[in-house]
Amino acid sequence: MDPALREHLKRLDLDLLMAGHADPVPDDWARPVRSYGYNRLYLILDGEATIMLDGVEYQPRPGQLYFLPAGSALGFSSSRERPLRKYWANFTATVGDHDLASLVALPRVLEVEDPPAVQDLFVRLLAAGKGTAQVTGPLRQRAILMELMAYLVEHAPIGSLKPLSEGPGRILEYIDAHLGEVITVGRLAEAFHYNPTYFITYFAQLFGISPNQYIRRLRVERVKQALIHSEQRIEEIAGTVGWEAAYLSRVFRQATSLTPTQYRALHRAS
Protein backbone atom coordinates (compact mmCIF):
# COMPACT_ATOMS: atom_id res chain seq x y z
CA MET A 1 0.00 0.00 0.00
CA ASP A 2 1.18 3.51 -0.81
CA PRO A 3 2.78 4.99 2.36
CA ALA A 4 0.81 8.24 2.09
CA LEU A 5 -2.42 6.31 1.69
CA ARG A 6 -1.55 4.21 4.75
CA GLU A 7 -0.94 7.35 6.83
CA HIS A 8 -4.21 8.94 5.71
CA LEU A 9 -6.18 5.84 6.66
CA LYS A 10 -4.45 5.66 10.06
CA ARG A 11 -5.82 9.13 10.86
CA LEU A 12 -9.28 8.60 9.38
CA ASP A 13 -12.15 9.82 11.56
CA LEU A 14 -15.70 8.74 10.72
CA ASP A 15 -18.95 10.20 12.05
CA LEU A 16 -22.28 8.62 11.14
CA LEU A 17 -25.01 11.14 10.36
CA MET A 18 -27.90 8.87 9.39
CA ALA A 19 -28.42 5.29 8.21
CA GLY A 20 -31.37 3.24 7.14
CA HIS A 21 -32.95 0.39 5.20
CA ALA A 22 -35.02 1.57 2.23
CA ASP A 23 -37.40 -1.27 1.40
CA PRO A 24 -38.15 0.30 -1.02
CA VAL A 25 -37.13 3.96 -1.44
CA PRO A 26 -40.00 6.51 -1.34
CA ASP A 27 -41.85 7.41 -4.54
CA ASP A 28 -40.14 10.82 -4.54
CA TRP A 29 -36.60 9.39 -4.26
CA ALA A 30 -35.07 11.66 -6.88
CA ARG A 31 -32.65 14.59 -6.75
CA PRO A 32 -31.13 16.78 -9.45
CA VAL A 33 -27.37 16.81 -9.68
CA ARG A 34 -25.80 18.81 -6.84
CA SER A 35 -22.95 18.59 -4.35
CA TYR A 36 -23.31 17.34 -0.77
CA GLY A 37 -21.03 17.87 2.23
CA TYR A 38 -21.10 14.26 3.36
CA ASN A 39 -20.36 10.77 2.01
CA ARG A 40 -22.86 8.02 1.25
CA LEU A 41 -22.63 4.23 1.18
CA TYR A 42 -25.35 2.27 -0.63
CA LEU A 43 -25.66 -1.52 -0.61
CA ILE A 44 -28.02 -2.35 -3.48
CA LEU A 45 -30.56 -5.11 -2.78
CA ASP A 46 -33.01 -4.91 -5.70
CA GLY A 47 -34.93 -2.60 -7.99
CA GLU A 48 -34.04 -0.15 -10.75
CA ALA A 49 -32.52 3.30 -10.43
CA THR A 50 -30.10 5.74 -12.00
CA ILE A 51 -27.20 7.38 -10.17
CA MET A 52 -25.32 10.26 -11.78
CA LEU A 53 -21.90 10.81 -10.21
CA ASP A 54 -19.47 13.41 -11.56
CA GLY A 55 -20.96 13.09 -15.03
CA VAL A 56 -20.98 9.28 -15.11
CA GLU A 57 -24.29 7.38 -15.19
CA TYR A 58 -24.63 4.18 -13.14
CA GLN A 59 -27.43 1.62 -13.21
CA PRO A 60 -27.27 -0.06 -9.77
CA ARG A 61 -27.51 -3.85 -9.57
CA PRO A 62 -28.11 -6.16 -6.60
CA GLY A 63 -24.91 -6.91 -4.72
CA GLN A 64 -23.16 -3.66 -5.55
CA LEU A 65 -21.68 -1.34 -2.92
CA TYR A 66 -21.56 2.33 -3.89
CA PHE A 67 -19.31 4.95 -2.31
CA LEU A 68 -20.55 8.45 -3.15
CA PRO A 69 -17.94 10.89 -1.85
CA ALA A 70 -18.52 14.28 -0.30
CA GLY A 71 -18.16 17.14 -2.74
CA SER A 72 -18.98 15.09 -5.84
CA ALA A 73 -21.71 16.05 -8.28
CA LEU A 74 -24.50 13.62 -7.39
CA GLY A 75 -28.01 13.07 -8.71
CA PHE A 76 -30.32 10.06 -8.55
CA SER A 77 -33.79 8.71 -9.31
CA SER A 78 -35.65 5.40 -8.99
CA SER A 79 -38.08 3.46 -11.14
CA ARG A 80 -41.69 3.67 -9.94
CA GLU A 81 -42.43 0.19 -11.30
CA ARG A 82 -39.42 -1.43 -9.57
CA PRO A 83 -38.28 1.01 -6.88
CA LEU A 84 -34.80 0.63 -5.48
CA ARG A 85 -34.22 -1.38 -2.30
CA LYS A 86 -31.02 -0.65 -0.42
CA TYR A 87 -29.20 -0.15 2.84
CA TRP A 88 -27.63 3.26 3.16
CA ALA A 89 -25.42 5.36 5.43
CA ASN A 90 -24.59 9.08 5.32
CA PHE A 91 -21.40 10.04 7.13
CA THR A 92 -18.43 12.37 7.30
CA ALA A 93 -14.92 11.02 6.74
CA THR A 94 -12.08 13.36 7.65
CA VAL A 95 -8.32 13.22 7.96
CA GLY A 96 -7.32 16.14 10.13
CA ASP A 97 -8.95 19.18 8.55
CA HIS A 98 -9.47 17.50 5.17
CA ASP A 99 -12.27 15.38 3.73
CA LEU A 100 -11.01 11.89 2.91
CA ALA A 101 -12.38 12.27 -0.62
CA SER A 102 -10.09 15.28 -1.20
CA LEU A 103 -7.00 13.21 -0.32
CA VAL A 104 -7.70 9.67 -1.56
CA ALA A 105 -9.34 8.23 -4.67
CA LEU A 106 -11.63 5.37 -3.61
CA PRO A 107 -13.67 3.10 -5.91
CA ARG A 108 -17.17 4.41 -6.62
CA VAL A 109 -18.73 0.97 -6.98
CA LEU A 110 -17.75 -2.56 -5.94
CA GLU A 111 -19.20 -5.91 -6.91
CA VAL A 112 -19.55 -7.37 -3.41
CA GLU A 113 -18.16 -10.91 -3.13
CA ASP A 114 -20.28 -11.78 -0.08
CA PRO A 115 -23.43 -9.60 -0.03
CA PRO A 116 -24.92 -11.26 3.11
CA ALA A 117 -21.78 -10.39 5.10
CA VAL A 118 -21.88 -6.73 4.06
CA GLN A 119 -25.64 -6.63 4.62
CA ASP A 120 -25.01 -7.93 8.14
CA LEU A 121 -22.71 -4.96 8.77
CA PHE A 122 -25.53 -2.58 7.84
CA VAL A 123 -27.98 -4.50 10.05
CA ARG A 124 -25.54 -4.19 12.96
CA LEU A 125 -25.01 -0.50 12.17
CA LEU A 126 -28.75 0.17 12.45
CA ALA A 127 -29.14 -1.96 15.58
CA ALA A 128 -26.28 -0.11 17.33
CA GLY A 129 -28.12 3.18 16.95
CA LYS A 130 -31.38 2.10 18.54
CA GLY A 131 -32.24 3.53 21.94
CA THR A 132 -31.12 7.04 22.85
CA ALA A 133 -29.99 5.83 26.28
CA GLN A 134 -27.50 3.41 24.75
CA VAL A 135 -24.27 5.13 25.74
CA THR A 136 -22.04 2.87 23.65
CA GLY A 137 -24.16 3.23 20.50
CA PRO A 138 -22.04 5.92 18.80
CA LEU A 139 -18.86 3.94 19.51
CA ARG A 140 -20.32 0.77 18.04
CA GLN A 141 -21.66 2.64 15.01
CA ARG A 142 -18.26 4.18 14.34
CA ALA A 143 -16.57 0.80 14.65
CA ILE A 144 -19.00 -0.82 12.19
CA LEU A 145 -18.66 2.11 9.79
CA MET A 146 -14.88 1.56 9.96
CA GLU A 147 -15.49 -2.08 9.00
CA LEU A 148 -17.51 -0.99 5.98
CA MET A 149 -14.80 1.43 4.87
CA ALA A 150 -12.16 -1.24 5.45
CA TYR A 151 -14.14 -3.57 3.18
CA LEU A 152 -14.21 -0.87 0.50
CA VAL A 153 -10.43 -0.40 0.74
CA GLU A 154 -9.55 -4.10 0.93
CA HIS A 155 -11.65 -5.00 -2.12
CA ALA A 156 -10.77 -1.99 -4.25
CA PRO A 157 -9.66 -2.96 -7.78
CA ILE A 158 -5.95 -2.56 -8.46
CA GLY A 159 -5.19 1.01 -9.42
CA SER A 160 -8.44 2.50 -8.09
CA LEU A 161 -7.06 3.20 -4.61
CA LYS A 162 -4.46 5.95 -4.51
CA PRO A 163 -3.66 9.38 -3.07
CA LEU A 164 -4.93 12.23 -5.21
CA SER A 165 -1.52 13.93 -4.94
CA GLU A 166 1.73 12.10 -5.59
CA GLY A 167 3.77 14.55 -3.51
CA PRO A 168 2.98 13.15 -0.04
CA GLY A 169 3.68 9.60 -1.17
CA ARG A 170 7.03 10.58 -2.64
CA ILE A 171 8.07 12.24 0.64
CA LEU A 172 7.28 9.11 2.66
CA GLU A 173 8.97 6.88 0.09
CA TYR A 174 12.10 9.05 0.34
CA ILE A 175 12.11 8.73 4.14
CA ASP A 176 11.65 4.96 3.90
CA ALA A 177 14.50 4.60 1.39
CA HIS A 178 16.91 6.65 3.51
CA LEU A 179 15.87 5.46 6.97
CA GLY A 180 19.38 4.18 7.77
CA GLU A 181 20.88 7.61 7.16
CA VAL A 182 20.76 10.96 8.96
CA ILE A 183 17.47 12.53 7.87
CA THR A 184 16.93 16.14 8.89
CA VAL A 185 14.08 18.48 8.14
CA GLY A 186 16.53 20.59 6.15
CA ARG A 187 17.48 17.61 3.99
CA LEU A 188 13.84 16.71 3.33
CA ALA A 189 12.87 20.28 2.55
CA GLU A 190 15.78 20.63 0.13
CA ALA A 191 14.98 17.32 -1.58
CA PHE A 192 11.42 18.48 -2.30
CA HIS A 193 12.17 22.16 -2.87
CA TYR A 194 10.40 23.57 0.19
CA ASN A 195 11.35 26.15 2.75
CA PRO A 196 12.15 24.15 5.95
CA THR A 197 9.65 26.07 8.09
CA TYR A 198 6.88 25.63 5.52
CA PHE A 199 7.78 21.97 5.04
CA ILE A 200 7.18 21.24 8.75
CA THR A 201 3.73 22.87 8.56
CA TYR A 202 2.89 21.14 5.28
CA PHE A 203 3.91 17.72 6.59
CA ALA A 204 1.94 18.15 9.82
CA GLN A 205 -1.18 19.18 7.90
CA LEU A 206 -0.94 16.04 5.78
CA PHE A 207 -0.06 13.48 8.43
CA GLY A 208 -0.91 14.99 11.81
CA ILE A 209 2.64 14.78 13.20
CA SER A 210 5.96 16.51 12.56
CA PRO A 211 8.54 15.01 10.16
CA ASN A 212 10.83 14.11 13.07
CA GLN A 213 8.00 12.40 14.96
CA TYR A 214 7.11 10.39 11.86
CA ILE A 215 10.72 9.33 11.26
CA ARG A 216 11.10 8.26 14.89
CA ARG A 217 7.84 6.29 14.80
CA LEU A 218 8.80 4.59 11.54
CA ARG A 219 12.20 3.62 12.94
CA VAL A 220 10.62 2.15 16.06
CA GLU A 221 8.23 0.10 13.89
CA ARG A 222 11.13 -1.09 11.75
CA VAL A 223 13.01 -2.13 14.88
CA LYS A 224 9.97 -4.06 16.14
CA GLN A 225 9.75 -6.01 12.90
CA ALA A 226 13.47 -6.81 12.97
CA LEU A 227 13.28 -7.99 16.58
CA ILE A 228 10.37 -10.31 15.80
CA HIS A 229 11.36 -11.64 12.39
CA SER A 230 15.17 -11.73 12.39
CA GLU A 231 18.09 -12.93 14.47
CA GLN A 232 20.01 -9.68 14.07
CA ARG A 233 21.81 -8.32 17.09
CA ILE A 234 20.60 -4.98 18.54
CA GLU A 235 23.73 -3.27 17.18
CA GLU A 236 22.98 -4.51 13.67
CA ILE A 237 19.35 -3.45 13.85
CA ALA A 238 20.37 -0.01 15.09
CA GLY A 239 22.54 0.46 12.02
CA THR A 240 19.64 -0.26 9.66
CA VAL A 241 17.64 2.65 11.10
CA GLY A 242 20.47 5.12 11.52
CA TRP A 243 20.77 4.94 15.32
CA GLU A 244 23.45 3.95 17.79
CA ALA A 245 22.54 0.88 19.86
CA ALA A 246 22.37 2.81 23.14
CA TYR A 247 20.14 5.47 21.62
CA LEU A 248 17.91 2.81 20.05
CA SER A 249 17.43 1.13 23.44
CA ARG A 250 16.51 4.40 25.12
CA VAL A 251 14.01 5.51 22.44
CA PHE A 252 12.54 2.01 22.15
CA ARG A 253 11.92 1.81 25.88
CA GLN A 254 10.25 5.23 25.84
CA ALA A 255 7.95 4.04 23.06
CA THR A 256 7.11 0.55 24.35
CA SER A 257 8.04 0.45 28.06
CA LEU A 258 10.26 -2.54 27.17
CA THR A 259 13.89 -2.97 26.24
CA PRO A 260 14.52 -4.42 22.77
CA THR A 261 15.61 -7.70 24.38
CA GLN A 262 12.45 -7.89 26.49
CA TYR A 263 10.28 -7.09 23.46
CA ARG A 264 11.92 -9.86 21.40
CA ALA A 265 11.58 -12.38 24.21
CA LEU A 266 7.91 -11.50 24.78
CA HIS A 267 6.99 -11.99 21.13
CA ARG A 268 9.06 -15.13 20.74
CA ALA A 269 7.28 -16.61 23.76
CA SER A 270 3.85 -15.80 22.33
The residues spanned by each domain of the chain are 3-163, 166-269
Residues 41-67, buried b or exposed e (16+ Cβ, 10 A)? bbbbbebebebbbeeeebebeebbbbb
Q: Which pLDDT score is estimated for 131?
A: 67
Whether the model clears a pTM of 0.85, i.e. scores above it, the answer is no
pLDDT single digits (tens) 211-225: 999 999 999 999 999
In this prediction, residues 136-157 reach a mean pLDDT of 91
DSSP 31: E
Lowest mean pLDDT among 11-25, 29-43, 205-219, 247-261: 205-219
133 vs 163: CA distance, rounded Å: 40
The share of the chain scoring above pLDDT 90, in percent, equals 71
* Cis previous bond, 163, omega within 30: no
Shortest CA distance to 227 belongs to which of 240, 215, 217, 214?
240
* Burial class, 211, CB count within 10 angstroms (exposed 0-12 / middle 13-18 / buried 19+): buried
Position 103 confidence tier, pLDDT thresholds 50, 70, 90: confident
Q: Which pLDDT score is estimated for 106?
A: 87
Shortest CA distance to 93 belongs to which of 30, 8, 20?
8
Q: Are 101 and 142 in contact (CB under 8 A)?
A: no
Q: For the domain bounded by 166-269, which CATH number is listed? A: 1.10.10.60
β partners of residue 151? none
Q: Which pLDDT score is estimated for 132?
A: 57
Of residues 202 and 78, which shows the higher confidence score? 78
Q: Which pLDDT score is estimated for 250?
A: 94
Superfamily of domain 3-163: Regulatory protein AraC (2.60.120.280)
Residue 257 Cα distances to 69, 118, 254, 263, 265, angstroms: 41, 39, 6, 9, 14
Residue 99 Cα distances to 14, 25, 54, 104, 163, angstroms: 10, 28, 17, 9, 13
221 vs 227: CA distance, rounded Å: 10
- Run of H or E residues at 127: helix 115-128
DSSP 157: P
Query: Which residues are CB-contacts of 178 (< 8 A; sequence separation ≥ 6)?
Result: none
